[in-house]
Amino acid sequence: MHGGLADWISTIAAFCFAIAVIFIRLKASQKPTNARKILIPPLGMATGFLMFLAPQTHVSFLYAGAAFLVGVLLCYPLIATSRMHAVGTDVYLKRSPAFIVVLLVLLVLRTILHDYVQRFVTLPQTGALFFILAFGMLLPWRIAMFLEYRRIARRISEQERSSTVYE
């Protein structure tokens, strides 16, 4: 299975995983969030940088920087479609209906970009570059979510303090 059929199978698998992630993320937004739930994914994903211990994944700093920058640029639609709101003393992530569309468009863009990049570097290097790109998307998105969470949590805390003063 080299080339065509393998590419189709991996593309179909990627779309299946993307659909699963969409459902998991939508279900998760029905529960309150906290700082740990927001910050654990990038910390967990950072362990993936251990792949660079294997020489076959080494890429130039220029390629790595470009991949990270592309990820940072692609994170803006995720940031724009993810908002926090307070319900009582809990903070919830509210997804825009456009969030699903953004994820699917990013997946299609990633698939097209993957096929292009694979022409210039080896398969392990392609995987490494797309890992860096994904980390470049995840890190700023989660930082933006954390800052918004912290702002709302602080406002809730101030409201609780002011309401106990008057009781």
Three-state SS annotation for 2-40: CCHHHHHHHHHHHHHHHHHHHHHHHHHCCCCECHHHHHH
Reported as a single tens digit per residue, the pLDDT across 134-159 is 999 999 999 999 999 999 999 998 88
What are the residue ranges in the chain where pLDDT is below 70? 1-3, 164-167
Written as six digits, the tokens of 103 are 């994820």
Q: In this structure, what DSSP letter does residue 60 have?
A: -
Q: What is the pLDDT at residue 142?
A: 95
DSSP string, 81-99: TEEEEEETTEEEEEE-THH
The CA distance from 155 to 122, in Å, is 50
Q: What is the pLDDT at residue 3?
A: 59
Q: In the chain, what are the domain boundaries? A: 4-32+59-165
Q: What is the pLDDT at residue 164?
A: 66
The CA distance from 40 to 166, in Å, is 38
Determine contact, residues 21/29, Cβ cutoff 8 Å: no
